[in-house]
Structure 1
Amino acid sequence: MPTITTLDVTGMTCGHCVSAVTKELEAVSGVKNVSVDLNVGEASEVTVVSDDVLPEDALRAAIDEAGYEITGISTHGSAEEFSQLADTRSEVYAGTSHIGSGSATAVGPVGISITPREDVDAATLASADAPAATSGGCGCGGCGCGN
């Protein structure tokens, strides 16, 4: 099962820093992927994916070799990561659906009203689905495809 290790790395300020950290971490045995979220002036988040838990001393040595410092480290499996994502999604969408409660709309995560297609009248759907009246039938206005 894949393991995700997150490192908080200080001192990174540019793309060269990202490149140096990435190169050193990719040389650590077992590392499959490295991604860096550069945060100038604060700790950057470096995510390392591997098949197994990586030795912390090897990660610290790689970051040290690149010229930076680890200020925090956490490791978890992909199952835990997916569980956290599912929990976050549930929190975002919790209580936002009003379908089946007497109302025919749902509210998206940022308060956008969503009306199910079956609740829109036929005339509105016909005008929305019809190709635009342009020289080409597809609505682009110039291809002349006739669709």
Structure 2
Amino acid sequence: MATVTALSVSGMHCNHCASSVTRELKAVDGVEEVIVELHANETSSVRVISDDPLPEDALRAAIDEAGYDVTGVEVLEDAVAAEYAQQAPARQAPHTLPIVRS
């Protein structure tokens, strides 16, 4: 079961900031992938993908180590499966051929 931990992070301004956060988070045990959506001079979105829920304090410590602040945390268990289920009809539509009768 995949877990997505969505973190709101303030203070990031550039790709170097995103790289620093990514590097620190990937060092946390259990982190599979890190996705950063950078919003310069605003709160950025950082998604951490793992097999199981991760300790929030470890994620906060990693971002603090990179020099940034966590302003919000949301844990979505089995989020990947839910997202695929929600998108399935849209993905299937282009592959459905109309039935033409003559």
Q: What's the TM-score once normalised by structure 2's chain length?
A: 0.80
Gaps of 5+ in 1: 94-115, 120-147
- Residues 33 and 72 of structure 1: CA distance in aligned 2, closer, same or farther (over 3 Å): same
Q: Distance in 2 between matches of 1:29 and 1:72?
A: 21
Q: Which has the higher contact order (CA 8 A, sep 6+)?
A: 2
One-letter code aligned to 2:24 = E
Paired residue total: 97
Which is helix-richer, 1 or 2?
A: 2
Cα RMSD (Å) of the superposition? 2.5
Cα distance in 2 between the residues matched to 1:29 and 1:89: 32
Q: Which runs of 4+ in 1 moved over 3 A?
A: 84-90, 116-119
- Which structure is larger by alpha-carbon Rg, 1 or 2? 1
Q: Specify the alignment match of 2:81 in structure 1.
A: 82
The verdict on how the C-alpha distance between 1:70 and 1:28 changes in structure 2, with shifts beyond 3 A counting, is same
Higher strand share: 2
The 5 Å alignment of 1:1-147 reads: 1-78=1-78, 80-84=79-83, 86-87=85-86, 116=98, 118=100
Q: Which amino acid aligns with 1:36?
A: V
